[in-house]
Structure 1
Amino acid sequence: MGNNSRKPKERKDIDQKYLWNLESLYVSDEAWEEDFKKAKELSKKVKEYQGRIGDSSEILLEILILQDELFRVVDNIYTYAKMKQDEDTRNSTYQALTDRASGLMVEAGESASFIVPELLMIDEEKINTYLDERKELQIYTHYLHNILRNKEHTLSPREEAIIAQTGDIASASENTFGMLNNADIKFPTIKDENGNEVEITHGSYIPLMESKDRRVRHDAFRGLYDTYYNYKNTFASTLSGNVKKNILYSKLRKYSSALEASLNQHNIPTEVYYNLIKTVGDNLSSLHKYVALRKRALGLDELHMYDLYTPIVKDIDMKIPYEEGEQLVLKGLTKLGDEYINIVNEGLKSRWVDVYENRGKRSGAYSWGTYDSNPFILLNYQDTLDNVFTLAHELGHSLHSYYSRKNQPYVYGGYSIFLAEVASTTNEALLMDYMLKNVKSKEEELYLLNHYLEQFRGTVYRQTMFAEFELAIHEHVEKGESLTADWLCETYKALNVKYYGPDIIVDDHIAIEWARIPHFYYNFYVFQYATGFSAATAFSQKILNEGEEALEKYIGFLKSGSSDYPINVLKKAGVDMTTPEPIEKALKFFGELVDKMEKLI
């Protein structure tokens, strides 16, 4: 059954087999209310340990177990309420439950807020003695050492309280950027392919840039960036304020740079960041070749920045109903072994997935769940190839969560943001490999290659360029210089020239693009898209080429959760992100696919 009628149905009219089974988490709202009460009591209980954590190994064990118990219940409460709300955002019952669950999360966080500061006041020797004398505590070894690792960067309780109180002021630059960028800025209207007036908005910009009509692309590009130029000094001011905040906090916490402060959260060495920028920078020739190929395929004398998003391969109308999509994904993932496929099959049968759009349902897609529940996947499935890849992607997240929770205690049951996109992207790479090996026509092969190369360009090259810009703006301010609009535009344009190469005209308008990128307010976040994609490419290549041993290491990676630092978790599985190798291999693979595409065009 497809579900492609134009109007979304009401939820009650969708066949139950296409709806996720949240009753497996709470059989009823009443059962949820019981847990809500339980969490309130646990919250009070936790508070009773304040000031006593260092008293004995027994007390330490009790509070850590209690903390886990509290947050485990709170996770269930919040996740259920929010997912019920996402089923139909108009439903006031679940809006109210979600509000209550949010309040409960804050309350639980406050009641446990003394734990880390008190742990930091115990000296390391004493903690190690406690670990030696009480076997049950040893499960928490990594957790405790990770907290102690931050000792030198933790201030006195009074100073920590002052920093906590500056939170609202600290986010003022980002909030101002958000208001200006989302609420106040207005873009002009242009004429579309049919001569109709269309307003440029954040939502309509990319579809306009994908237009086959070059005039439409040109007008949208100029219209958007001319508007940003009108506000360039304000945007420079908000970005500068945010960078200064990052640098101030890094100094207060005794880090040598804002980059080090940001990466230390997950114990990622700064060399991982530098290594990404250097390795991609040393291997830009394949991207340059791809840009030249785009120019040739579009038949243009001059390729401009506004020609980067229009498809170079005509869209293939591949109608893939959901059940067919499921089968395609299962075939694409067979290299991950019988056990993996059996879990996926079981999950699909047990209604992990909420498949179709319905009125009021949250848009987009995600994988979620708790330590005690199945993974759950929200989709808004349309019968397109993109949606098949979305299913493979979200199943990657879900199986990562499934393996982590089954093999780790609650305290290590999640995984770090640095690793978050690895399993999902590995699934996409394996599905792409399967589909490329089973294409039915040259058009289909070209379409798939273009889909993958564009994804690679957007995730590895573009995000690395962003990461390089982010590093440049922080280092500029750390040297005592100021971020003027002119300097920002000049620096950003130069990076575009470097990355895209000699076969494109880097229009002056692109120099202001930095002003519209919200990620520059996320404190060295974007590089993880590129490292994650590179690690996933390395894993998928190993699984395809090295067989059983590589697969075993990969499943080991999925089982590790956060039981070690993310860099070590990857290293044990055979992918060392402190070296250029995984990134070089990924870039080499990109180059091979560009060559393949060149032969077909």
Structure 2
Amino acid sequence: MSQVAKRTEVPAEHQWKLEDLFESQEAWDKEYQTVKEQSKQIAEFQGKLTDAGAVKQCFEMEDQLSLHTERLYVYANMRHHEDTAEPKYQALSDKANKLSVEVNESLSFITPEILSLSDDKLSSFIADPELAKFKKTLEEMRRQKPHVLSKNEEALLAQAGTIAQAPGKIFNLLNNADLKFPKVKNEKGEETELTHGSYIQFLESKNREVRKNAFEAVYATYSKQKNTLAATLSANVNKNVFYAKARKYPSVLEMSLFGDNIPKEVYTNLIDTIHEYLPLMHRYMNLRKKLLKVDELHMYDLFAPLVEEFDMDIPYEEAKKKVSESLKPLGGDYLKVLQEGFDNRWIDIYENEGKRSGAYSWGAYGTHPYVLLNHNDNLNSMFTLTHEMGHALHSYYSDTTQDYRDAQYTIFLAEVASTLNEALLMDYLLKRTEDPKEKMYLLTYYADQFRTTVFRQTMFAEFEKIIHEKAEAGESLTPQELSKVYYDLNLQYYGDDMVVDKDIEMEWARIPHFYNSFYVFKYATGFSAATSFSKQILEEGKPAVDRYLGFLKSGGSDYSINILKKAGVDMSSPQPVKDAMSVFKDLIEQMEQLTK
């Protein structure tokens, strides 16, 4: 498709049904007004949180406010994502963002006020049956006590919220609305629009010239904006350093892990364990070079098909069927919910002009989850579909099992359900093919999942760690410095069989996750946990499925590490990462056998 459709041209059945959240703009406006009023009313509790009854009422009102603000925020931003250039929804998104900051400000007295009570009083609240529903919240407050500031300081930090959102917001607008890539020639020699959505298709082209031109065009475009992009990323890092210092954390990394109560070792273990297994990655690059029959392997060859004349053209309807079939090991109830999502427009399917790039699952408690895709009829998009539906069903099970306060699972757990779905889909496809070409195609696809989700995300995680440490040491993050750090990591991770093209040094400039700091390592740990789960489910059957569904229903009712441990995966040890690496090694060996 050389011309991208306008949003107004997209048929209703290909769009998500946001009316399930708010049936009309009027309904949104009405709820907005209610939240505005309630956010003033909650101030009546200020100075009165000294007995269990008042605390209970205050928490209940806080839940009401948070839930309705979340609904308003999610709806406005999802409308904005349908077409980021549409001014009406840019304005609505701004309005919701500002409301979110206001509401946080109005609630900011609660935690410091409860924490100013004596330890005895706080302990009596934790033990009080009237507050049983809020026990975890109160225990969590006690854990956070060293990092909570005085009432005035907390209010000031809450007011700074809008400024704190600026780097990410500027990056998103620059990246999604303002950056225009040049036209490049496709395989037929036709000038075609290069977009975020089509870039990966160009990189998957069999024609090396097409890949090279698209690769160079993308990085030349980012390079022209390198000073602005370095300034926005640097501003984001400095914002993190400011918050870490203000809240008395030893470092930004420890601040980022504190919320999920994850030991710093989980992060550093991951990087160290992956360093230990880099020879496997280098072995895979060597194999890729052989299979592509090239003298030199370049960065733009990383997505090139390794199997000649093997196209897996998978229309969306067929992708849905295969996803459903592959998830049968998870049982009838899981499949029923999945089908509900397919049938009732939970999903926004295809790319359109101005639509936010990539894919995600999102939503608000009390309404079913939603999924945004930019679907192409290929294997990659089928995996994206099962991945995002994994998130959606995790949210569905958490939301329908847990109270609002305990339903939200942490980001540390977020990538497990999505990646487990991918592992089951891969197992399903590999078991059903006798064709050596198809088998090779799937093996390389799976090996690439390891490359992108474990190795590449760990490299991103290491990049974040380095640039934050530099900022914390008072060093400045110039475009040259960011590019050097990034380039050197590529050299280390890809090894001697790869020509690390100079253009790749600008890749840091196009990664949206760097504005959600210290997030990406969770893809790698999640992938490892999911690999371990899928192994247990396929080997043990029902007992493992029951443990896994228990995990999905747990939401955020306990600390992430404990929830996983209960379900049979211990992330505080390097073992799950080593398990994942043994699967990767097995894939490489199977591929080497097929190439003999």
TM range (shorter): 0.7 to 0.9
Q: Work out whether 1:51 is the aligned partner of 2:47.
A: yes
CA distance in 2, matches of 1:100, 1:596: 54
1:565 to 559, 565, 578: 559
Residue 117 (structure 1) aligns with? 112
TM-score normalized with structure 2 length = 0.85
**1:374 partner SS:** coil
CA distance in 1, matches of 2:583, 2:485: 29
Residues 8 and 357 in structure 1, CA contact (< 8 A), matched pair in contact too: no
Superimposed CA distance per residue, residues 138-163 of structure 1 (whole angstroms, 9 cap, x where no aligned partner) = 11111122223222122333444454
Structure 1 residues 361, 142: closer, same or farther in 2, change over 3 A? same
CA distance in 2, matches of 1:187, 1:361: 15
Residue 66 (structure 1) aligns with? 61
Instruction: Please report how far the alpha carbon of residue 414 of structure 1 lies from its aligned counterpart in structure 2 after TM superposition.
Output: 1.5
Residue 126 (structure 2) aligns with? 131
**1:149 partner SS:** helix
Residue 457 (structure 2) aligns with? 463
CA distance in 2, matches of 1:425, 1:4: 31
Residues 314 and 447 in structure 1, CA contact (< 8 A), matched pair in contact too: no
How do residues 219-368 of structure 1 correspond to structure 2 at under 5 angstroms? 221=215, 242-314=236-308, 316-353=310-347, 365-368=359-362
CA distance in 1, matches of 2:288, 2:12: 43
Structure 1 residues 505, 86: closer, same or farther in 2, change over 3 A? closer
Q: Work out whether 1:531 is the aligned partner of 2:525.
A: yes
* Structure 2 letter corresponding to 1:42: Q
CA distance in 1, matches of 2:516, 2:353: 33
Instruction: Please report how far the alpha carbon of residue 533 of structure 1 lies from its aligned counterpart in structure 2 after TM superposition.
Output: 1.7
Structure 1 residues 148, 225: closer, same or farther in 2, change over 3 A? same
**2:413 partner SS:** coil
CA distance in 2, matches of 1:86, 1:331: 31
How do residues 505-516 of structure 1 correspond to structure 2 at under 5 angstroms? 505-516=499-510
CA distance in 2, matches of 1:66, 1:192: 57
In structure 1, the gaps of 5 or more residues are none
Q: Work out whether 1:75 is the aligned partner of 2:67.
A: no
The worse-fitting range, judged by mean Cα deviation, of 447-456 and 276-285 is: 447-456
Superimposed CA distance per residue, residues 280-325 of structure 1 (whole angstroms, 9 cap, x where no aligned partner) = 1101222112101110011112223332232222464444444433
Superimposed CA distance per residue, residues 542-574 of structure 1 (whole angstroms, 9 cap, x where no aligned partner) = 211232222222111111111112222222212
* Structure 1 letter corresponding to 2:324: L
Residues 567 and 576 in structure 1, CA contact (< 8 A), matched pair in contact too: yes
Instruction: Please report how far the alpha carbon of residue 464 of structure 1 lies from its aligned counterpart in structure 2 after TM superposition.
Output: 0.6
* Structure 2 letter corresponding to 1:335: P
Structure 1 residues 44, 159: closer, same or farther in 2, change over 3 A? closer
The alignment-based identity, stated in percent, is 51
Whichever of the two has the greater Rg, that structure is: 1
Superimposed CA distance per residue, residues 442-471 of structure 1 (whole angstroms, 9 cap, x where no aligned partner) = 232222222222222111101111212222
CA distance in 2, matches of 1:226, 1:383: 28
Instruction: Please report how far the alpha carbon of residue 181 of structure 1 lies from its aligned counterpart in structure 2 after TM superposition.
Output: 7.2
Superimposed CA distance per residue, residues 15-55 of structure 1 (whole angstroms, 9 cap, x where no aligned partner) = 6xx765656555666666665554445334322212212x2
Instruction: Please report how far the alpha carbon of residue 437 of structure 1 lies from its aligned counterpart in structure 2 after TM superposition.
Output: 0.6
CA distance in 2, matches of 1:370, 1:270: 30
Residue 430 (structure 1) aligns with? 424
Q: Work out whether 1:408 is the aligned partner of 2:402.
A: yes
Instruction: Give the count of matched residue pairs.
Output: 595
**1:576 partner SS:** coil
Instruction: Please report how far the alpha carbon of residue 202 of structure 1 lies from its aligned counterpart in structure 2 after TM superposition.
Output: 6.2
Q: Work out whether 1:141 is the aligned partner of 2:119.
A: no
Residues 513 and 520 in structure 2, CA contact (< 8 A), matched pair in contact too: yes
How do residues 208-227 of structure 1 correspond to structure 2 at under 5 angstroms? 208-218=202-212, 221=215
TM-score normalized with structure 1 length = 0.84
Residues 46 and 109 in structure 2, CA contact (< 8 A), matched pair in contact too: yes
* Structure 2 letter corresponding to 1:503: D
Structure 1 residues 307, 352: closer, same or farther in 2, change over 3 A? closer
CA distance in 2, matches of 1:237, 1:41: 38
Structure 1 residues 112, 155: closer, same or farther in 2, change over 3 A? closer
In structure 2, the gaps of 5 or more residues are none
How do residues 589-600 of structure 1 correspond to structure 2 at under 5 angstroms? 589-600=583-594
Instruction: Please report how far the alpha carbon of residue 65 of structure 1 lies from its aligned counterpart in structure 2 after TM superposition.
Output: 1.0
Residue 547 (structure 1) aligns with? 541
* Structure 2 letter corresponding to 1:341: L
Instruction: Please report how far the alpha carbon of residue 83 of structure 1 lies from its aligned counterpart in structure 2 after TM superposition.
Output: 5.3
Residues 87 and 360 in structure 1, CA contact (< 8 A), matched pair in contact too: yes
**2:380 partner SS:** helix
CA distance in 1, matches of 2:71, 2:164: 31
Instruction: Please report how far the alpha carbon of residue 372 of structure 1 lies from its aligned counterpart in structure 2 after TM superposition.
Output: 1.7
Structure 1 residues 297, 487: closer, same or farther in 2, change over 3 A? same
**2:45 partner SS:** coil
Structure 1 residues 145, 447: closer, same or farther in 2, change over 3 A? same
Residues 257 and 264 in structure 2, CA contact (< 8 A), matched pair in contact too: yes
Structure 1 residues 362, 122: closer, same or farther in 2, change over 3 A? same
1:450 to 444, 447, 452: 444
**1:418 partner SS:** helix
CA distance in 2, matches of 1:84, 1:509: 34
* Structure 1 letter corresponding to 2:543: E
CA distance in 2, matches of 1:237, 1:93: 28
Residue 498 (structure 1) aligns with? 492
CA distance in 2, matches of 1:31, 1:171: 27
CA distance in 1, matches of 2:16, 2:167: 40
Instruction: Please report how far the alpha carbon of residue 191 of structure 1 lies from its aligned counterpart in structure 2 after TM superposition.
Output: 6.7
Superimposed CA distance per residue, residues 103-146 of structure 1 (whole angstroms, 9 cap, x where no aligned partner) = 5544433332322232222233212212323x131111111222
CA distance in 2, matches of 1:102, 1:252: 23
- RMSD of equivalent CA atoms: 4.0
CA distance in 2, matches of 1:215, 1:554: 46
**1:412 partner SS:** helix
Residues 460 and 520 in structure 2, CA contact (< 8 A), matched pair in contact too: yes
